[in-house]
Structure 1
């Protein structure tokens, strides 16, 4: 049974950080979309400021939803680490980094 727990833990240690990175990628993509839509509206002659407002608001709501999803997955990550320590005796001081081929992480600014 212990062996199966270790196999599951190893798989989770790969897929959880990958999911976190993919959510970050989606947030970056939606943010880029927002910038492009607002820039296009501003730079298109004769387009009133109110035009496209509903679209911009939908993009902002999508961004907020992704921030919520990111927080939920981070909490899931913590929950799974706790479960690993409690059930498998795993010594998880620090979660592994995202796979080397994954996207770069954004540094936190204090």
Structure 2
């Protein structure tokens, strides 16, 4: 079991930051697209109403990504707490193997 906890902790230590970074990358790409759309509209001289719906949808998508980012950050915090709780249980139930797991599980997120 200790190896399983260590492997899970290592996987979480990799996957959580990757998810956070991927969301940031998506937000940056979406912001870049929005900038390009607004710039193209301005530089082509089309009326302000042209592309307004598209811009509004892009802004809505940005807000959605910010909300997703917040949810991932909350999940990250919950995983940290689970790691602390799990490490505490391991320390009480299995003192001889709990200490190494405490470090790995607490660092899981």
Determine if the TM-score, normalized by the shorter chain, exceeds 0.5. Answer: yes
Q: Which aligned pairs between 1:99-110 and structure 2 lie closer than 5 A?
A: none
What does residue 81 of structure 2 align with?
82
Aligned length: 94
Q: CA RMSD in A?
A: 1.7
| Alpha-carbon distance in structure 1 between the residues aligned to 2:13 and 2:87 | 14
- Where do 5+ consecutive residues of structure 1 fail to align? 96-110
- TM-score, normalised to structure 2, is 0.80
- TM-score, normalised to structure 1, is 0.79
Residues 53-96 of structure 1: per-residue CA shift (max 9 Å, x gap): 00000000000000000000001111011101101343447x6x
| SS in structure 2 at match of 1:9 | helix
Displacement of 1:3 in angstroms is: 2.1
Q: Which aligned pairs between 1:37-76 and structure 2 lie closer than 5 A?
A: 37-45=37-45, 47-76=46-75
Which structure carries more helix by proportion? 2
